[in-house]
Structure 1
Amino acid sequence: MLENKLIGFIGVGVMGRPMARRLIEQGHALMIYDRDAHALDELRKIGAQVADSVRAVADTAGVVFTSLPTPAIFRDVAIGAQGVVHGKAVKVLIDLSTVGSTTEKEVAAALLARGIETIDAPVSGGAAGAQKGTLAVMIAGKPEVVAQVRELFDVFGKTFNVGSEPGQGQLMKLLNNMLSSTAFAITSEAFVAGVKGGLEPETMMAVINAGSGKNGATQDKFPKQVLPRTFDFGFPIGSVCKDIGLAVDECQALGVPMWVGSTVRQLWNFAALQDGTKRDMTELVRYIEDWSGSAGGKK
């Protein structure tokens, strides 16, 4: 661990807040910042110091985590006019966001020019995984730098070293999310078709999970959020669109045609255009029901 024991955490929203909470519960001292003042209240009550700016965090903490929603916001927080790059204390920035490898590499290069190391460490597992400490953490960074903060990652869940350069964690995360959103989309279509054809949804899911069609959607999201009709997984359709868009773009830049990925991106984007940006991703089923004229469609 670095000599400066205070940890900075910028972005304490749906994912960042439970991760920051776990660090505090493990005895770490945190200084936090978020543009949304209400997002800070829960952590303030359990001992977090609240900063009044990004710069204040970077001027005080040696290690700074970021958990931010878009590439543009991450870039501004990291290397903007009042960003982490100008901090007097920060030595390592650990990015937990999903922003794509192009942005991650750009930011890492700008930070390194100021003597600040970057660890690219996006996470997968949703808000529930963040709360339980069961996330998959995809770590890319210089081994000697990662070793200094290794104990912090263990608080979040299971860790995977996926590379030694910032950007490699992003690629791994985007590929994972593309597989997840594709599985959910095709499962939704199959589910709606089965119900329209007279199959019982619970029986259908049981059969699929006992056979070769099982996937993350049939084993997790459908039993927990779709069949009970709670639609509360905790990840909005707009974020799915962002992630799969970044994934398809990166894969195409690598020379992969992306026939399936491009089609799935169109499906999610179309759902978002139908007032769905802020709806839970599991509500895609309701859109497909609506488009199919099936009972129980979107309301």
Structure 2
Amino acid sequence: MNQVGFIGLGKMGFPMAVQLLKANYPVFGMDLNQQTMKQFQMLGGVPSTFEEIIHSTQYIILMLPSSRTVNTIIDSLLDIYQSGNLKSKPTIIDMSSSYPEDTRQNEQKLKALGLGFLDAPVSGGIKKAAEGTLTIMTGGKDSLFRECKPLLEAMGSKLFHVGPIGSGHLIKAVNNYLSAAHLLTTCETIHLLENYGVKPETAINVFNNSTGRSGSTEYKFPSFILNNSYQSGFSLELMSKDVKMASRLYEDMGAATAFPQAVCQKLEEAQHALPENADHTELFTYIATYLLTGRNSDEECKETDNRFTAFCTNAQPRSL
């Protein structure tokens, strides 16, 4: 069976790599956390250096925190390959939440040296990663997707080939923007209703049986917010990063909408107000500090309305 390199054994990467081990793939793993590496080895993985991974594997999966880190890893791989010290031609699968334009540029670099590349970000969180039931949205050549499909099926139960290279990362970014917008509006609504005397549990139950339901009402509120656990495993920092990426995409396309920027701004405010490692569901506690406290003066509200109107008036719509 083909050997797999897995770079980035974090909260999502570790259970994904474990699913590959369960599917009997030999997995060579790399992470900065030495305790994680020891646990990985106990489960049958092979702790490895970067050089060992690129010399020993046919597929290299990246599950890293940012495009910048992904770009560094790919540039390092290219340096070794261009030196003539890399004889095999591994296929690279970037399962991180990377910026689509970076992904397209990386594909061109790898293609010039005959290396295959897919972007295949995931959705579903730690729970589905541990179950092997992630949703995986893949961009790249259809033939390469079919080749890698058995590998991806070991980690996900819902696989989508969404289009050319970069489209997986694009749809992941806007998916997380939608998720953040749902959470933000639901948090504000629950606080508003509670102030009026409606119990949060009752409101969530009504939404889940009506058209206002979403992933936030069906899963996040019952699992992490109503019980005050706030332990989804996905940080506010990462959500803010993903929404910032989506906001940048809308701006780069000249889209005539201010909603992504508004959601991005609210998440950044929460990130600065809450503890450094706050879970993204703790957004609910931050919203309680401003929603009904009259924090914003009439002048501030008018200024915000004016900026919003000016943005929508001046923006030049383009086809998306």
Query: What is the TM-score with the length of structure 2 in the denominator?
Result: 0.86
Superposition deviation, residue 43 in structure 1: 1.4
Partner of residue 161, structure 1: 161
Superposition deviation, residue 109 in structure 1: 1.3
- What is the CA–CA distance in structure 1 between the aligned matches of 2:270 and 2:276, rounded to whole Å? 8
Partner of residue 143, structure 1: 142
Q: Deviations over 1:135-181 (max 9, x none)?
A: 11001111111222210111122100101x22111111111111001
Q: Deviations over 1:61-105 (max 9, x none)?
A: 111000000111111111137877564434200110001101111
- What is the CA–CA distance in structure 2 between the aligned matches of 1:83 and 1:227, rounded to whole Å? 50
Partner of residue 75, structure 1: 71
Partner of residue 30, structure 1: 27
- What is the CA–CA distance in structure 1 between the aligned matches of 2:190 and 2:79, rounded to whole Å? 46
Q: Tell me which amino acid in the other structure corresponds to 2:51.
A: R
Partner of residue 229, structure 1: 228
Q: Deviations over 1:11-42 (max 9, x none)?
A: 01011000000000111101111122222122
Contact 2:190 2:200 in 1 (8 A): yes
Contact 2:16 2:129 in 1 (8 A): yes
Matches within 5 A, 1:16-95: 16-52=13-49, 54-80=50-76, 87-95=86-94
Matches within 5 A, 1:116-265: 116-157=115-156, 158-163=158-163, 165-265=164-264
Task: Give aligned-pair identity as a percent.
Answer: 28
Contact 2:250 2:260 in 1 (8 A): no
Q: Tell me which amino acid in the other structure corresponds to 2:99.
A: G
- What is the CA–CA distance in structure 2 between the aligned matches of 1:84 and 1:187, rounded to whole Å? 49
SS in 2 for 1:290: coil
Return closer, same or farther for 1:85/1:177 CA change in 2, 3 Å cut-off: farther
SS in 2 for 1:59: helix
Superposition deviation, residue 293 in structure 1: 6.8
Q: Tell me which amino acid in the other structure corresponds to 2:284.
A: V
Stretches of 4+ aligned residues off by more than 4 angstroms? 81-87
Corresponding residue pairs, total: 289
Structure 1 unaligned runs (5+)? 295-299
SS in 1 for 2:5: strand
Return closer, same or farther for 1:261/1:37 CA change in 2, 3 Å cut-off: same
Q: Tell me which amino acid in the other structure corresponds to 2:243.
A: I
Contact 1:95 1:121 in 2 (8 A): yes
Q: Deviations over 1:30-63 (max 9, x none)?
A: 11111222221221101111112x2321111111
Contact 2:54 2:77 in 1 (8 A): no
SS in 1 for 2:39: helix
- What is the CA–CA distance in structure 2 between the aligned matches of 1:160 and 1:168, rounded to whole Å? 11
- What is the CA–CA distance in structure 2 between the aligned matches of 1:178 and 1:8, rounded to whole Å? 30
- What is the CA–CA distance in structure 1 between the aligned matches of 2:181 and 2:79, rounded to whole Å? 35
Contact 1:31 1:51 in 2 (8 A): yes
Q: Tell me which amino acid in the other structure corresponds to 1:72.
A: R
Q: Tell me which amino acid in the other structure corresponds to 2:108.
A: A
Return closer, same or farther for 1:148/1:162 CA change in 2, 3 Å cut-off: same
- What is the CA–CA distance in structure 2 between the aligned matches of 1:277 and 1:84, rounded to whole Å? 37
Partner of residue 14, structure 1: 11
